[in-house]
Structure 1
């Protein structure tokens, strides 16, 4: 039995690396609960395991340390101390490179500084796409094992039926306007496009916290501008708290297309959930989204926006049949991922 401290263990990506049925001989420690009990989508926050003191005190509980997410606010020196603590107890470090550019950081340097610690120090590296692996090889001279993103919705939810006869609906979920999101040029183009497509509509979803003056994500100017889109024909603006998982699945299935309004990023769990549910995705040209799934790509990054390519993508999907990944395919993929991770862990421990 291999005991793994996965950071964070409760994230859906990590949970779906274990077999759905049976065992792969890997036990992942539960996430320790922070003193303030704070939780965000994806797990407890911040991850208690990302602390050299916690590792020093609990190193006897695990054989291997696997980092995924959660180091957004950690200083490079702290990460160096974590690496030192692991090495001092001869505990292998595995790192899955999810983000080459952190979607929560307007400045790329803080994340890059952490990668400059983690990537050279890791005993084994994993990433999700060949493009990300090539970037790691080019920038750090390290080889990554490329493994696909697992399913996001639970396997027993694959039987959820999409609404019958739903009209062509394009959705843009601006969430809480995290730093990599720039919805306005995207929305302006989409409003013009759907106006020329009979029966088409655009739904803009916003988290209510951007309207709260006491909230970290308060954005009065942007929120006012977003609400103005509802004055346009065929456009609906919906303000709501964070969706529960079931609410999110119902929302995604109500869409024909989900457009990702990202100026920068690398990979996307949202994209995977869409394909689990049969919702097409139009993703930006930044990052490696098109290598995750066969989605439409429009020109959008920190330096340019190509409205013609976005318009073209919407028109191509207007009469297209939706693609939905099957439960059988995702179940087989999950078994493969469990086996592949077990093999990586064994090699790192050897």
Structure 2
């Protein structure tokens, strides 16, 4: 009998890659996301309807395990308590994967902490992605989670094609990337960007700093237009290779990441990163801040940045190290093997809860 999992969500790329590679059956079936009215197909799971206690009461006979990944920031602590009550009354086990110990979208951490204070103690199964995050969870809640690493982000075929292209890049100058997207609360671009310009200009060989940003952030009239950041970015002129664009498709994003020699993460707080994993998939080095558990997640070059401290010299040194040695590329076969191990680890956890 397959184990039926109400996964919140099911269509997120991380969750999709918890299933084994094609052709392998792990005996786990994840329910499709209930569509949310008015959302695009890509984001139809937001806000997650499965997190409504009434949804659980109506659909509890359709699943065996309830597994929360993302989306609970849409719920108050009281609503989460009601959800847990519904699961308990229906005899369903809660599994929680702690991706974020600090919500990258929230300036104030108290709301996220309050949500975790409800979910972590109530979860019968507890997972996180790194040993560092596991130690923090143990210190804060007295629970030792199972550590299961982040699987690949790109599809395996895409990984192979883009890694193969990296051998075909000739003797062009090194290219360092900073991606501003639509800035989250946890990002510190006005701190990192000026220092990164100086760091790249100090490199030998004419390295290029490519800065990408969404039009809605950097152009007047944009939905999240930031005039101070836009002024800073545009004021750098030809000191950077500026690319202002709309949201990239997945293929465009993977091509962009693969075109870089190093990608700099400008986070002043956070925990784990899917961006980091995508860079590993295409063979691009990652320069990551000292906050969070990025160095536990995969091979990175670390510089000192958190909510209270930034050391510019450490950023320059990390960029030099990233460009001086080949990025430790994770192979397609390694990712395929890891994905199977990740699927087996989840199946075993679910089985342990179902007795």
Could you report, residue by residue, the CA deviation over 1:220-279 in whole angstroms, capped at 9, with x for unpaired residues?
Answer: 3222322222x143x111111111110000000110000000000000010000011000
* 1:172 pairs with one of 175, 178, 182: 178
Number of residue-to-residue matches in the alignment? 346
TM-score scaled to structure 2, two decimals? 0.94
Contact 2:299–2:328, Cα closer than 8 Å, also in 1: no
Name the SS for the 1:90 alignment partner: coil
The answer on 1:53 being equivalent to 2:54 is yes
How far off is 1:167 after superposition? 2.4
Equivalent in the alignment of 1:32: 34
TM-score scaled to structure 1, two decimals? 0.96
RMSD: 1.4
Distance 2:235 2:72 in 1: 36
Distance 1:28 1:212 in 2: 43
Contact 2:287–2:322, Cα closer than 8 Å, also in 1: no
Name the SS for the 1:95 alignment partner: strand
Contact 1:38–1:44, Cα closer than 8 Å, also in 2: no
Equivalent in the alignment of 2:329: 324
Q: How do 1:53-72 residues align onto structure 2 when only pairs under 5 Å count?
A: 53-72=54-73
Name the SS for the 2:49 alignment partner: coil
The answer on 1:114 being equivalent to 2:115 is yes
| 1:58–1:246 distance in 2 versus 1, CA, 3 Å | same
Contact 1:39–1:45, Cα closer than 8 Å, also in 2: no
Distance 1:331 1:246 in 2: 20
Unaligned runs of 5+ in 2: none
* 2:248 pairs with one of 232, 243, 252: 243
How far off is 1:40 after superposition? 5.8
Unaligned runs of 5+ in 1: none
Equivalent in the alignment of 2:312: 307
Distance 1:226 1:60 in 2: 54
Higher helix share: 2
Name the SS for the 1:72 alignment partner: helix
Q: How do 1:129-168 residues align onto structure 2 when only pairs under 5 Å count?
A: 129-160=130-161, 161-162=165-166, 164-165=169-170, 166-168=172-174
* 1:228 pairs with one of 235, 257, 268: 235
